[in-house]
Amino acid sequence: DSIESIMLRGIAENAFLSKWAGGLGGSWTSVRGTGGFIQGTNGESQGVIPFLKMHNDQLVAVNQGGKRAGSGCAYLESWHNDIFDFLELRRNTGDDRRRTHDMNTANWIPDLFMKRMEAREHWTLFRSNEVPDLHDLYGQAFEKRYAEYEQMAEEGKIYGKRIEALELWKHMLKLLFETGHPWMTFKDACNLRSPQDHVGVIHSSNLCTEITLNTSDDETAVCNLGSIVLDNHIKPNGDLDHAKLRETIRVAVRALDNVIDINFYPTGPAETSNRRHRPIGLGVMGLQTALYKKGVAFASQEAIEFNDEMMEAIAFYAYEASSDLAAERGTYSTFKGSKWDRGLLPQDTLEILEQERGVEVEVPRGGKLDWTPLREKIQSQGMRNSNVLAIAPTATIANIMGTSPCIEPVYKNMFVKSNLSGDFVLVNPFMVRDLKAAGLWIPEVVDQIKYFDGELEHIDQIPSEIKQRYLTAFGIPYEFIIDAAARRQKWIDQSQSVNLFLGQADMKTLSHMYRRAWHVGLKTTYYLRSLSASNIEKATVSVAKDRVPVAESEPGIEPDARNANDLAAVVEVTSVAYLAGEDPAIKACRIDAMMRGEECEACQ
């Protein structure tokens, strides 16, 4: 919280990291809020928002290695007195000098806020320079100190603004649906379950919310990532191929550990952190494809159990590989005193979270493997890496590998992919296989699949079993996505990029979704994906249109607030008619306009 730190560490170092292709995430909670006293000039602070605007412009000016747009995510803790302005940063209305259209944002939420919100109790906002230790505290220590600061505010000793916790929660949800930001991430789950709680504090996650590493004055957290193609490790009978999986993981862990030594570090704090703790982030992609190979629907209890089984196996072999590397090359320098050293593995830390939170963490404990020999090995050999697992987004490399992105359900069964060679219609090959086997890959059914954009729900000829197996992201109840993520999180020492999907604007459903994510112990969530408010008329497809459900806009949601932050494809059309009727406030995208870099109003 000084101009030197903000400009040199917060802006300049981020520029150096972005130049060398770094995706950035960082906490801005320590920067004092609006009205805070500036001792050096005897003035008042303008708060954190103007500095975030500068950070946003820095990301535009210094892109990632000259190859893709600069990307960053700013985190703010929920008690900061600029929190309401922070929530508004991604809106397309209001003072543009207080908007960050190019930067992502995320809430860093303590458990105490969630408990007070659910109990319909009050919440107090503070200026961070007057409560300097709050950002470093978590669990019961945070709750005790927070209550002490509230008492001081009531006595007039420090600034404190009392609000209703539920009102702040509603505002978080409203802006999350409208803009896709700020994302919801949970401070206490990240810190209480961290293997490195003995040497620092996790103040935020990264650009994609899967990295949970300590940061400090002399350390900038760094993590290099890799992902296993899960569907390549499924046997013909649908079982997990443990022997192949173990072999793949041992190669991957060794390769990621090698990167730490041969890497180039743009800043001193980044090199210090990475060489001191040697964290890596091994993840997974192809979950949906693996489920297709197994013949299992994403929205099923069987799929949830498979998530538990496969993540336990990946964790087991990855932690084993890191321990064996430690026997060969030595442990990382801060191993002594870590949770690994204290005999605590990630699955054990659920009990710590539940005890500190005072609320049940609703995740089944236990697994299928015998962890006793591995526990003994870690106690004997140590660990080469402070952190080993993290599930990152894998959209591009999943396309290259011919599999589905990370842990995502399929977004569409049919979509158009565009590149310089033209437009290509891609259809889910597993769906085609099953429809052919059922004798249903016939012109009448194919026309209906085209008409409904690959959705099978309204096609009467298709059996319910096939419909269930090929539900797309917006047709899968959120409980299955969150519960599967909770089973994976049980075994992971860092976190996951968990996208959530909401087809209709409904505040109650949205609240239940994120409350469930907290109750099952997720550390972080990523984007909220929501559907656009209209569909394109298919002029060349012959279908009985009286059976087509009409898309209606949600009352009270303005057209520019309808979130379309992740269209699966944009198809060039010569004329457009919307099923919901002509709406001049909604404009259609044209692929040629997007390729020329023109602003796309419909996607705003």
> Is 210 a known active-site residue?
yes
Side-chain-side CA neighbours of 104 within 13 Å: the count stands at: 24
Residue for token pair 């004092």: 32
Burial of 165 (0-12, 13-18, 19+ CB in 10 A): buried
* Active-site residue, selected from the candidate residues 56, 104, 107, 208: 208
Tokens, residue 60 = 């535009």
> Is 589 a known active-site residue?
no
CA end-to-end distance (rounded Å), the chain: 34
Contact 225, 213 (CB under 8 A): no
Backbone CA torsion sign across 497, 498, 504, 508: negative
CA distance 272 to 499: 32
* Active-site residue, selected from the candidate residues 14, 56, 107, 206: 206
Helix pair 372-381, 301-329: axis angle to 10 deg: 30
DSSP state letter for 410: P
- Tell me the three state secondary structure of residue 75: strand
* Active-site residue, selected from the candidate residues 210, 219, 312, 408: 210
CA distance 150 to 51: 27
CB-based burial, 298-317: b 16+ in 10 Å, e otherwise: bbbeebbebbbbbbbbbbbb
Side-chain-side CA neighbours of 451 within 13 Å: the count stands at: 21
CB-based burial, 254-278: b 16+ in 10 Å, e otherwise: bebbeebeeeebbbebbbbbbebbb
Other C-beta atoms closer than 10 Å to the C-beta of 594 total 15
Please state, in angstroms and as integers, the Cα–Cα distance from residue 496 to each residue in 53, 281, 321, 487, following that order.
Answer: 28, 10, 21, 12
DSSP state letter for 10: I
CA distance 225 to 252: 10
Q: Catalytic positions, please?
A: 206, 208, 210
